[in-house]
Amino acid sequence: MGVHVKPELIESLEEFGVKDATTCFNCGNCTAVCNLSTEETPFPRKLIRYLQIGAKDKILQSAEPWLCYYCGDCSETCPRQANPGEVMMGLRRYLTSLYDWTGLSRLFYTSKAFEIIAILIVGGLVGLAFYLFHGPMITDRVALNVFAPNRVIEILDLIMAAVLSFFLLSNAYRMFSAIMSVPFKGEDEIMARRRRHTLLKGIPLKIYIKEGKEFVVQFLTQKKFASCGKPEKKSQWIAHLLAMTGYSTVFLLVVVGIRWFQRDEIYPLWHPIRLLGYYATFGVLYGVTYAMIGRIKKSSTVYEHSHSTDWIFLILLWLTTFSGILIHFTRLLELPLATYYIYAIHLMIAVPMLVLEVPFAKWAHQLYRPLVLYLIKVRESSIANSIVNIKK
Ligand code: SF4
Ligand code: SF4
């Protein structure tokens, strides 16, 4: 397939946080120093070269930006201060916007005002819904399930999850199509094009199923992150893992398990739901506070350049967690009115964060990374077994 060259591409990516790539003189130092770069999937130099020649199609089909966990080793050793780690981060934002067919992701990444207004609108609508439809505010005890019945919240949660899943999965399918379009080893362009037009990209379903564990393991452990960067950077992986697992736990508790999570009686300390809630709160608060302090202090290379979307995501996540903690305390202290008001504020922060971040911005990275690692495994497995299935 021919490469569509677009020399102005590198300038247009400044809004996504790609700033110093023009200074790169392609020495390859960054690729040599990166623990995660391999012969089959070399980066970041290759991606910077694509950027410099404006090869948008090649970038779209590249899995490599998702293989970088941004340890910063390459940026620290670059002789031209081209900041390859930050370039990879910017490319992940750019790719997220290319996968998204609605165009909203591009707007979030390129307009701070648009993102803030969107958050205010969604948060305002949640507040209005509470104002108009909340249940009786009982004041002689905390009765959260009278104020906001969990069966109603459960239905709204499931509707929201279905809508978000639709957007996220349709974007993920576009990513899958782009990445699996690259000719496999031993394939020519004509064979790749034929394969590209099939739903499963010419690979039997049984291979997708067989390699499914790769997705689960990578999603739950982020284990590639553990081998990314110098050993002293392990704390970044731990903070990331805590935030990610905490965030996923609370997402499941709220969306799938709200009828057990939001109860008017307080569970005993040892109860699994309460313990899971504590783990999720600790994990998110630790991971997010760690990242915020790092960005404020600019304590390492990876925190030197923050995009506005990084800050907005961290602030929304921190406020959601903090307001959740406040609700827990107002319930323990038996303060009914404070519980109801803080609960409404909590959802006015949490809902925009979920609606806007899950399919269109930072949160989508949680799906794209393990998905890419899984697709690479599927590709390797199908090549090893030589069972790419194309009807000629
Ligand atoms: S980004 Fe820096 S280290 Fe990497 S190839 Fe360019 S100049 Fe060399
Ligand atoms: S930031 Fe770390 S993982 Fe990413 S390309 Fe650079 S060295 Fe590799």
Q: Whose Cα sits closest to atom 2 in ligand 1? A: 78
In sequence order, what are the beta bridge partners of 55? 5
**Is the C-beta atom of 80 inside 6 A of ligand 1?**
yes
Name all contacts of 150-158 with Cβ < 8 Å and 24+ positions apart: 150/258, 150/259, 150/262, 150/263, 151/259, 153/258, 153/262, 154/258, 154/259, 157/254, 157/255, 157/258, 158/255
CA of 43 to the centre of ligand 2 (A): 8
Q: Which of 129, 364, 116 is nearest to 244 (CA)?
A: 364
Cα angle for residues 101, 19, 179 (degrees, 5° grid): 35
Q: Which pLDDT tens digit goes with each residue over 202-236? A: 899 999 999 999 999 999 888 888 888 777 778 88
Q: Which two tokens stand for residue 90?
A: 């910017």
Closest ligand to residue 46's CA: 1
Number of helices (H), then strands (E), belonging to the chain: the values are 20, 0
CA of 209 to the centre of ligand 2 (A): 30
DSSP H helical ranges for 212-307:
212-221, 223-226, 234-255, 258-261, 272-297
Chain centroid to CA 216: 15
Rg (CA), the chain: 23
CA of 214 to the centre of ligand 2 (A): 21
CA of 303 to the centre of ligand 2 (A): 14
Q: Which pLDDT tens digit goes with each residue over 269-328? A: 999 999 999 999 999 999 999 999 999 998 888 888 889 999 999 999 999 999 999 999
| pLDDT exceeds 70 at position 170 | yes
Report the distance separating Cα 137 and Cα 119, nearest Å.
27
Q: Which of 92, 363, 353, 72 is nearest to 237 (CA)?
A: 72
Closest ligand to residue 302's CA: 2
Chain centroid to CA 325: 24
Report the distance separating Cα 190 and Cα 201, nearest Å.
13
What is the reported pLDDT for 4? 54
Q: Which pLDDT tens digit goes with each residue over 37-88? A: 998 889 999 999 999 999 999 999 999 999 999 999 999 999 999 999 999 9
Are 147 and 340 in contact by the 8 Å Cβ rule? The answer is: yes
Pick the CATH number of 9-99 from 2.60.40.420, 1.20.1740.10, 1.10.1060.10, 3.40.50.20: 1.10.1060.10
Best residue among 30, 83, 228 to mutate for probing ligand 2's pocket (most ligand atoms within 8 Å of CB) is 228
Are 375 and 63 in contact by the 8 Å Cβ rule? The answer is: yes
Q: Which pLDDT tens digit goes with each residue over 293-306? A: 999 998 888 888 88
Burial of 117 per CB tally in 10 Å (0-12, 13-18, 19+): exposed
Q: Which pLDDT tens digit goes with each residue over 12-38? A: 899 999 988 889 999 999 999 999 999
Average pLDDT over residues 165-182: 94
**Is the C-beta atom of 29 inside 6 A of ligand 1?**
yes
| HSE-CB for 270 with a 13 A CA cutoff | 0
SS3 label, residue 5: strand
| pLDDT exceeds 90 at position 109 | yes
What is the reported pLDDT for 5? 59
What is the reported pLDDT for 392? 43
Are 361 and 309 in contact by the 8 Å Cβ rule? The answer is: yes
| pLDDT exceeds 80 at position 390 | no
Q: Which of 139-143, 236-240, 253-257 has the highest mean pLDDT?
A: 139-143
Average pLDDT over residues 251-268: 89
CA distances to 35, 212, 252, 254 from 259, rounded to whole Å, are 45, 30, 12, 9
CA of 85 to the centre of ligand 1 (A): 10
Cis omega (within 30 of 0) for bond into 359: no
The residues spanned by each domain of the chain are 9-99, 104-385
- Percentage, residues of the chain above pLDDT 90: 71
Phi-psi category of 21—alpha, beta or left, where left has phi over 0 and alpha has psi -120 to 50? alpha
